[in-house]
Structure 1
Amino acid sequence: MRTLVDLPVSLSRDAAVPLTTQLAAWLRDAMMSGALAPGERLPSSRGLAAQLEVSRTVVTEAYQQLYAEGWLDGRHGSGTFVASLETPRRAVPEPQAPPPPPAAVPDERTINLTPGHPWVRDYDRAAWKRAWRRAAELPPGDYPDPYGLPHLRELLAGHLRRTRAVAVGPENILVTRGTGNGLDLCALALLGPGAKAGVEDPGYRTARAVFAARGAEVVPCPVDEDGVIVDGLPDGLRVLYTTPAHQYPLGGRLPIPRRERLLSWAARTGAVIVEDDYDAEFRYDVAPLPALYGLDPSRVVLLGTLSKSLAPDVGVGWLVAAPETVDRVARLRRSVADRTSGPVQHAVATLLERGDLDRHLRRMRLEYARRRAVVVEVLGAVCRLRGDTAGLHVLAELPPGSAPGIVARAAERGVLLDTVERHHHGAERLHGLVIGYGSASLADVRRGCRIVAGLIRRL
């Protein structure tokens, strides 16, 4: 691989412009001119700092700036690469006559900006292989414990204390296959035919489907930009499903006064609150908010998952509740032969035990923050955004009736979108696009948002 010293990098310590800004400008210009081609690997920050005889911080901050702007693309364990950009590069003057430009080839890549999908292409391969090797060393087992692997439950208790400020022990935890499985177990244990289950509206469609499949009467419960509207909750609910850390799909967080009113409502009516903590690890303005469960463990069942923090394919989550509720769920779970794979639980335990999952979360929090910044920069200029301080999606508000047309036209340009209207259960009150930025690369998020912004401007 050639080094950047082979190219005419010129940094001046005497200039008024900081070295970091100089280096970022030089790299940006080199990528625009084609001197650095798409897909070309850049030196490590340590290596380039040594070549240029500057501090590593200079290079690191320059790289971070270009990451945020979408010029660079990182691949964990492989290095830093020049991103593929929508903006055409300037021709580089050469002594001889340049060859004719190649014919334009339409970009046929599909950019998925729908919500609910994390980035699964950047992970610690060594840690992943090590976890599965350790799981494979164990002999095949009988039916797994319906509560989950005891060692994993202990590790999850520590994980929840660190990340969600929830003081629990293994007796409070049952290992599930994810949020959907946790919802089904809640429906099995807490509901019955004809029982009323409240679900946020707009809200998570899977929750409605799971509760209805267990024979419950699903009742839409309106939300506003802060979350569920407590004063509008009906009596007679056996269960209320809510997403207080990052309401799905509007993105609000339930403030403390409303959390206290919600718990008072549950105490008065006898309802159980099912708290979905689906992407609470990712917050960009402040530290992740404590879980609602911590305020009243007797009234709340907390559901968590690795689907957003690691990968949906792992198929591991957790249900946190009072021990007597956990015992009831475990008994019913055994009766319907529901279980979480033993080898998968052992692999996840290794990731937790060695700190690999915590490191992955810290790394992905930075990666998602870069993508979120691009969404806010590009789409925030053409419409109002909600829920942009956390999670993996934002709501882009639009005039009523306009979202379906933009979805169709964006699809023609290779960009997949979702509408907030699709998540309503009752009457449609809010209108716009639910933009997910988890599963697309930083460069594709920028390119897709530019396409969407152009369509919005034409409204």
Structure 2
Amino acid sequence: MGHGETALPVTLDRDSGVPLAVQLADALREAASGGHLRGGDRLPSTRALAASLGVSRTVTSAAYEQLHAEGWIVGRHGSGTYVTTSPPAPVSRRPVVMGPDHVSSPDLVALLPGMPWAEGIDRAAWRRAWRAAADTPPSAVAERAGLVAYRAAIAEHLLRHRGLDVAPNSVLATAGTTAAVVELAAALLRPGDLVAVEEPGYQRAVEAFRRAGVRVVPVEVDSEGLRPDTIPDGVRVVYCSPAHQYPLGGRLSAARRVELVDRARTDGFLVVEDDYDGELRYDVAPLPLLAALAPDVVVHLGTTSKILTPTLGVGWMVAPPGVTAAVLAYREDAGTRASPAGQQVFVELARHGDLGRHLRRLRRELSERRSGLVTALREADVPVLGDDAGAHLVVPLESADEERRRLALARERGLLLDGLARHFAGIPTSAGIAVGYAGCSRETLQDVLGVLVDVLRLTRR
């Protein structure tokens, strides 16, 4: 590399069927969109990069030409090639597995994290809840905070299943976790504010913050969850999933919970607690919420999309009074609210005990599925990460190349799996496969178990 040139995070797989020029263009595009390369960074010449990577200059020239056509880079006469500040048509070609609500092929069995056991919802109870919800008279008033009955049902749910004692008027209905993050960013943050997020973590929340003009800084995660000691100074919000870290599956240890709360109070930031599947623990009782430990500095978010179905389109928020008031003011200005129909159906499911019965069946079903899956993988000497909880587990791999290879092989054999790469806000620092086990039937999971084990236990070529 010449003076002033940026080191490039590029690894080329010569065994891949993807042309080297395409691989190189993809890697540079990903580095620019992920923040490793920034506007104004100088790139090495095609000749220097070819020598560094051990490829022909034809490969590097073709990659640069493609990126120049897309607007990612620009050549300056007599000076070199530079990353542009704002590409006119940013197109990400990161080789990722699409999320559970973008499953494109009916021929693939989707074993993806984030998918609920919607098949297990009792159809008679479902129909009864919708009929009862339809009997509710139409309202001429927009309930910005949510229906009174829904907020009361959520307060009861939180007390019964998560050990959080809150008054119904402290609960806000939301349109789900991502929508709640959008509201929090708009109501509380200003462009340029700093928000810390788990790395790897929930990228929809990351994108919601970024679209609000907020600066996102990744914070390291290990087997005990987020590391509070690595949170930088000056953050306004820390976003985390302490009960079941997404996607690695660990839980935030008791010592780190105390450390995180102490730092929040000392440094004056809010902790946003994403409790996306906190009800789903199989080894011990569901872990206490951060909101119960520190209601003054914690915003608690929950959703019905993981314990029931995304069809309802509702979730909830419990926050300090100042945060609640700011969100309600934003909703009034923006004219937004959560779906009243979804709220009413949830109320009816809770009122007749169907919600509680479903959660008991859900925990039993997913516990058995997880146990069978973990047993089969470990018998094949496949390592497994994550607590005995939730609806997915993670199989660690040695490299990003290995991750891509397993994902491609899984597709060839009829499985849609998820790689860790897409869960990083920046350059991925670890590799693995996230396997969901809730979105298909138990029979289907059993049918494909042998194929799944074969894909995940293959030795690296």
TM-score over 0.5 for the pair: yes
> CA-to-partner distance for each residue in 1:392-422, whole Å, 9 max, x for gaps?
1111011112111011011011100111122
Mapped contact 2:312–2:345 kept (Cα < 8 A) = no
Task: Give the corresponding residue for 1:441.
Answer: 441
Q: Which amino acid aligns with 2:421?
A: E
Question: Which letter does structure 2 place at the counterpart of 1:408?
Answer: A
After superposition, the Cα gap between the structure-2 partners of 1:446 and 1:397, relative to the gap in structure 1 and judged at 3 Å, is farther
Cα offset for 1:143? Answer: 4.2
In structure 2, the residue matched to 1:422 is 422
Aligned residues of 1:141 and 1:342 also touching (Cα < 8 A):
no
Q: Contact (CA 8 Å) 1:379, 1:449: kept in 2 or not?
A: no
Q: Secondary structure at the match of 1:138?
A: coil
CA 239–398 in structure 1, closer or farther in 2 if over 3 Å, else same: same
Task: Report how far residue 390 of structure 1 moved.
Answer: 0.5
Cα distance, 1:356 vs. partner?
Answer: 1.1
Is residue 129 from structure 1 mapped to residue 100 from structure 2 by the alignment? no
- Counterpart of 2:441, as a letter, is S
Residue of 321, 326, 335 corresponding to 2:324 = 326
Instruction: Provide the rounded CA distance (Å) in 2 between the counterparts of 1:366 and 1:204.
Output: 26
Deviation at 1:142?
A: 2.3
Determine the C-alpha separation between the residues in 2 that align with 1:219 and 1:424. Answer: 11
Contact (CA 8 Å) 2:244, 2:387: kept in 1 or not?
Answer: no
C-alpha distance in structure 1 between counterparts of 2:113 and 2:317, whole Å: 23
The correspondence of residues 102-121 of structure 1 with structure 2, limited to 5 A, is: 109-121=107-119
Q: CA deviation at 1:257?
A: 0.8
Whether the aligned pair in 2 keeps the contact of 1:392 and 1:436 (CA below 8 Å) is yes
Q: Which residue in the other structure is 1:431 paired with?
A: 431
Residue in 2 that maps onto 1:386: 385
Q: Contact 2:237–2:271 (CA<8 Å) still a contact in 1?
A: yes
Query: Structure 1 CA distance, aligned partners of 2:365 and 2:334?
Result: 40
1:388, CA displacement in angstroms? 4.1
1:240 aligns with 2:259: no
What is the percentage of aligned positions where both structures have the same residue?
43
Question: Pairwise mapping of residues 165-180 of structure 1 onto structure 2 (< 5 A)?
Answer: 165-180=163-178
Give the corresponding residue for 1:452. Answer: 452
1:312 aligns with 2:310: yes
2:6 maps to which residue?
none
Alpha-carbon distance between aligned partners in 2 of 1:239 and 1:382, rounded to the nearest angstrom: 40
State whether residues 312 and 342 of structure 2, in contact with CA within 8 Å, keep that contact through their aligned partners in structure 1: yes
Secondary structure of the residue that 2:184 maps to in structure 1?
helix
Whether 2:369 is the aligned partner of 1:374: answer: no
- TM-score w.r.t. length of structure 2: 0.74
Separation in structure 2 between the aligned mates of residue 449 and residue 251 of structure 1, nearest angstrom: 21
Q: 1:200 aligned to 2:207?
A: no
Aligned to 2:247: 249
Give 3-state SS (helix, strand or coil) of 2:112's partner. Answer: coil
Cα drift, residue 184 of structure 1:
1.0
Of 227-236 and 347-356, the range deviating more from structure 2: 347-356
User: SS where residue 282 of structure 1 aligns?
Assistant: coil
Give 5+ residue unaligned stretches, structure 1.
1-107
Please give the alpha-carbon distance, in whole angstroms, between the structure 2 residues aligned to 1:293 and 1:336.
27
Which piece of structure 1 moves more, 131-140 or 190-199?
131-140
TM-score normalized by structure 1? 0.74
Residue 360 of structure 1: aligned partner: 358
Following superposition, the deviation at residue 109 of structure 1 comes to 4.9
Equivalent residue number for residue 396 of structure 2: 397
Measured in 2, the distance between the counterparts of 1:447 and 1:271 equals 48
The equivalences for 1:88-107 within 5 A come to: none
Match of 1:147 in 2: 145
Q: Partner of 2:157 in structure 1?
A: 159
Q: Which runs of 5+ in 2 are unaligned?
A: 1-105
One-letter amino acid of the structure 1 residue matched with residue 299 of structure 2: V
Alignment of 1:73-92 (within 5 A): none
**Aligned-partner Cα distance in 2 for 1:199–1:446:** 36
Cα distance in structure 1, aligned partners of 2:456 and 2:386: 19
Aligned residues: 352
Larger radius of gyration: 1
Q: Among 222, 225, 231, which residue is 2:223 paired with? A: 225
Q: CA deviation at 1:178?
A: 0.9
Displacement of 1:300: 0.3
Is contact 1:437-1:445 (8 Å) kept? yes
Q: Is the 8 A contact 2:162 2:286 kept in 1?
A: yes
Q: Establish whether residue 289 from structure 1 lines up as the match of residue 267 from structure 2.
A: no
Given residue 218 of structure 1, which amino acid in structure 2 is its aligned partner? V
- Distance in 1 of aligned mates of 2:233 and 2:158: 32
2:63 alignment partner in structure 1: none
Whole-angstrom CA distance in 2 between matches of 1:457 and 1:348: 42
Q: Report if aligned partners of 2:117, 2:439 keep a CA contact under 8 Å in 1.
A: yes
CA RMSD across the alignment: 1.4
Question: d(CA) in 2 for partners of 1:444 and 1:229?
Answer: 38
Equivalent position SS for 1:402: helix
Deviations 1:355-398 (CA, angstroms, capped at 9, x unpaired)? 11111000111111121112101222332111141101111011
Pick one of 263, 266, 269 that aligns with 1:265.
263
Q: 1:312 and 1:345 mapped to 2: Cα distance?
A: 12
